[in-house]
Amino acid sequence: METYGLIGNPVGHSLSPLIHDTISRELSIDSEYRLFLIERDLGGALKRLYEEGAGGLNVTVPYKSEVIPYLKGVDPLALSIGAVNTLKRAKDGFIGYNTDIEGLLRAIREEGVSIRDRECLVLGAGGAARAAAFLFLREGAGGITIINRSLDKAERIASDLISSLKDKKGAGFEGEKPWPIRIEALPLSDIGKLEGKGYIAVQCTSVGLKPDIDRAVIEDPEFYKKLSFAVDAVYSPFVTRFMQLCRDNGVRAINGLSMLLYQAVYAYELWHEVLVPAAVIEKAYQALLNARPKNIILTGFMGAGKSSVGIRLAERLSCGFADTDELIVKREGKSINEIFAEKGEAYFRDLETLVVKELSEKSRFEGGMVLSVGGGLPVRESNRAYLKKIGTVVYLRAREDTLLERVKGSSDRPLLKEDMEKRLHELYNKRRGVYEDSADVVIDTDDLTLEETVLKGERIL
Ligand code: ATR
């Protein structure tokens, strides 16, 4: 069996093994894909992997540029970009390639978008931005603007694009298009000066990556109105704030998951000298979708907004919504008040456990779901374990005064009927720590509208 793999630091959370293993299985190719954490001595590690017979390697941060001096040869396009993400075994050493740009191209094409003669924007000036800029150049964009917080880095990419265009060798640019096309660098602070519209944009900054999910590199809606199509290189979270801002302004936006998929497909094709059929690529994409967490569980005190947020969130995520109280009411054919009055609290609590246990035993939910759980449900330790098994636990936190304001006048809250303020105070102090300790994510809802809370929830997965 031939060995392939990924070198980098860190490599632990990589989705590459899943993609490569799925393709190998579907094509009945006997090969393994391993993760190699390289902490020091990159040259020595490469030599060893070569001697051990590795057929090819992917390269990730922080080695995409650093690896170049250790290679036997580098593809001219990868050399102009200055970054290599794929190594293929050759006689006496590895040859370096960059499949990131093919990955981005294929992700854009798949959306029916053509780059030729279009105005294109690159946000950021790191390695991913550089690859995107070179892709736009090679595909004959009408204009390329590189926008970055530090202007000097954007200028460096712009001047590298211009020089590779001039000598026409480096970038793999076929020279069909008369030079000059417009290539510019713009500081982020001057984004208001951007003219024109209908841009294709690729977001390559690290802003918006988990856990920084509430930020986008540009907030101004006027900017988004100038776009026609956008790719966010980020895929975790699955929906970023940048994508939400695009969509809110009528701009189609995709995340970086298909880029990731296609760069792996190209590496696979290069290594194994095969063409991966579309049906196999689709299988690999489904495997990626299945691997990510899909269910959101909303916990919190009565009045935290679990149901109203949950219903809207499920709509936005196009998935199902369920509420443990409703599941219990349906199961018993009685209201919560009736169950409490007739059978007592202990009976109700056991029903809660039964319901979450059953949900946790379904291995996965078609298309994911949002589950709102009763306020007291997380108090039981076994219930908390079931919730963790079901999905990502999100605590909708609110201050005591906010909660009191929200639950006033509600009739279906058996534990709060008498002396609401006092009971709420007691329960609040008893349960607050439980919610906090058992949550994967906390959303403070006091100063948010329902819609703002929903948007925040959408960025969690
Ligand atoms: P890559 O992973 O693609 O190699 P990188 O080298 O980590 O990317 O670069 C991160 C990019 O995100 C840079 O363009 C960086 O801007 P600077 O060059 O000005 O540092 C950008 N970036 C990171 N944090 C940012 C922030 N808070 N605001 C704006 N841009 C930011």
Ligand 1 near 74 CB (within 6 A): no
- For residue 304 and ligand 1, the question of a CB distance below 6 A is answered with no
Q: Please name the residue whose Cα sits nearest to atom 21 of ligand 1.
A: 205
Q: Is the pLDDT of residue 418 over 70?
A: no
Pocket flag, ligand 1, residue 127 (CB < 6 Å): yes
From ligand 1's centre to the CA of 45, what distance in Å?
A: 28
Residue 123 in 3-state DSSP? strand
The set of residues, in sequence order, having a beta carbon less than 8 Å from that of 166 and lying 6+ positions away, is: 179
Average pLDDT, the chain: 92
Q: Would you state the structure tokens that stand for residue 51, as one six-digit string? A: 């001697």
Q: Which among 9, 151, 205 is the best mutation to test ligand 1's pocket, defined by most ligand atoms within 8 Å of the CB? A: 205
Q: Which long-range contacts (CB under 8 A, 24 or more apart) does 237-241 make?
A: 237/208, 237/210, 237/213, 237/459, 237/460, 237/461, 238/292, 238/461, 239/458, 239/459, 239/461, 240/203, 240/208, 240/213, 240/216, 240/459, 241/208, 241/213, 241/214, 241/215, 241/216, 241/455, 241/459
Query: What 3-state class would DSSP assign to 158?
Result: helix
Q: Is 122 in the pocket of ligand 1 (CB under 6 A)?
A: no
How many residues are listed for the chain in this entry? 461
The pair of structure tokens assigned to 150 is 């530090």
| Cβ–Cβ < 8 Å for 421, 303 | no
The rounded Å distance from CA 46 to ligand 1 centre is 28
The better pLDDT of the pair 418, 46 is held by: 46
Write the DSSP string, 403-420: HHHHHTT-SS-GGGSSSH
CA of 3 to the centre of ligand 1 (A): 34
Residues 114 and 192: beta-carbon distance below 8 Å: no
Closest ligand 1 atom, residue 204 Cα: 3
Environment class of 212 (CB within 10 Å of its CB; exposed 0-12, middle 13-18, buried 19+):
middle
Beta partners for residue 444, in sequence order: 397
Per-residue pLDDT at 164: 82
213/21 Cα distance (integer angstroms): 30
Q: Which atom of ligand 1 lies at the shortest distance from residue 206's CA?
A: 12
Global pTM value: 0.86
**Residue 211, pLDDT score:** 84
In angstroms, the CA 4 to CA 13 distance is 17
pLDDT at 171: 47
Q: How far apart are CA 393 and CA 116, in angstroms?
A: 45
Closest residue by CA, ligand 1 atom 11: 205
> How far, in Å, is the centroid of ligand 1 from the Cα of 125?
7
Identify residue 355 by its one-letter amino acid code. Answer: V
Distance CA 149, CA 154 (A): 8
Active site residue 64: yes
41 alpha-carbon distance from chain centroid? 31
Residue having the nearest C-alpha atom to atom 22 of ligand 1 = 205
258 band by pLDDT with thresholds 50, 70 and 90: very high
What's the pLDDT score for residue 170? 44
Whether the per-residue pLDDT at 206 is higher than 70: the answer is: yes
Of 64, 226, 306, 456, which one is the catalytic site residue? 64
Phi-psi region of 240 (alpha: psi -120 to 50; beta: other; left: phi over 0): beta
**209-213, 254-258, 328-332: the lowest-pLDDT one:** 209-213
Say whether pLDDT at 54 is over 60: yes
Task: Evaluate: CB of 388 within 6 angstroms of ligand 1.
Answer: no
Which residues are paired to 227 by β-bridges?
Answer: 199
The pLDDT tens digits for 350-370 are: 999 999 999 998 755 556 899
What's the distance, CA 277 to chain centroid? 25
For ligand 1, say whether the CB of 209 is within 6 Å of any of its atoms: no
Atom of ligand 1 nearest to the CA of 64: 4
| Residues 231 and 259 sit within 8 Å (Cβ to Cβ) | yes
Interval 249-278 mean pLDDT:
97
215 lines ligand 1 (CB under 6 A): no
What is the reported pLDDT for 27? 98
Quick check: CB of 148 below 6 Å from ligand 1? yes
Q: For residue 127, give both structure tokens.
A: 């390695």
Structure tokens given for 184: 């510019």
